[in-house]
Amino acid sequence: MLGTEVVQLLREKRLSIALAESCTGGRVCDMLTDVPGCSGVLKGGVVAYSNGSKVKLLGVSPATLERFGAVSAECASEMARGARSALEADIGVSTTGIAGPAGATPTKPVGMVYIALATGSGVKVSEHHFPGDRESVRSKTAEEVLRLILRSV
């Protein structure tokens, strides 16, 4: 199970993690809290679905949202840094995207997701295009977050 692997790896490396989730709605946090002992590594998670919550809880710049939108590499980066800072964790991870079925634009289709991972040495952001319906996009995003953590830590 990916959640178990992530918790074990973070425990071995003595690292803590904080999550900022939008399109996944807390799914990544749920996958980690399914693992007994996760409290030793998981500082917490913020489900920041609205732009206002991204600004107020995670410190995302209103200018970033206006210029690039909530579904952007820039927003994902600020969300991950904000979670890391607010929850005083070694690692901050964020998700933002369009799970559908509504909300798509010609340049931002359903299934477009940004995942960001912030550490003391910087932020890595990746863009993904997951096929399928809302449930599928959300599940694939959450699984990719856990795989990203395993590859990056």
Q: Provide the β-strand partners of residue 2.
A: none
For 65-122, write each residue's pLDDT tens digit.
999 999 999 999 999 999 999 999 999 999 999 999 999 999 999 999 999 999 999 9
Q: What crossing angle do the helices spanning 134-152 and 2-13 adopt, rounded to 10°? A: 30
pLDDT at 97: 98
Ranges of each domain in the chain = 2-133
pLDDT at 57: 98
pLDDT at 105: 92
pLDDT at 92: 98
Question: For 45-60, what is the mean pLDDT?
Answer: 98
Q: Which of 129, 136, 140 is nearest to 104 (CA)?
A: 129
In the chain, the percentage of residues whose pLDDT exceeds 70 is: 100
Q: Provide the β-strand partners of residue 66.
A: none
Provide CB contacts within 8 A for 72, sequence distance 6+: 64, 96, 114
Tell me the pLDDT band of 129, cut-offs 50, 70 and 90: very high
Q: Decide if 99 contacts 137 (C-beta within 8 A).
A: yes
pLDDT at 26: 98
pLDDT at 69: 97
Level-2 CATH architecture, domain 2-133: Alpha-Beta Complex (3.90)
